[in-house]
Amino acid sequence: MARGGFRKGAGRPSGSTNKSSPEQSQRLSELAKAHTEEALQTLVEAARNGRTDAARVSAANALLDRAYGKSAVKEEQEIVDLPPVVIQLTK
């Protein structure tokens, strides 16, 4: 018996809709917002008293992301100021 890979007939049929509705998403969001204060207190606790540096940094980053939003990723373009090119024709 073959394992893994594509199997004919597997997965959700084409054209079928996702079972998640906008109403369900809104309700889930409301439930999550009800626990915001407790979640923030947990992040602060982890940032202050985490067992590892990684846990503290992760919690601190999560707090900053929630307070100020995630930073936009900018592509830095290096500007090189070169002197003009002079072409001299000789006979």
Which ranges in the chain belong to alpha helices (H)?
22-33, 36-49, 53-68
Arithmetic mean of pLDDT over the chain: 81
Length of the chain: 91
Gap between the Cα atoms of 38 and 46, Å rounded: 12
Please write the tens of the pLDDT for every residue from 33-52. 888 888 888 888 999 998 99
- Asked if 18 and 38 touch (Cβ cutoff 8 Å), the reply is no
Closest of 30, 60, 33 to residue 44, by C-alpha = 60
Ranges of each domain in the chain: 23-68
Q: Which pLDDT score is estimated for 13?
A: 80
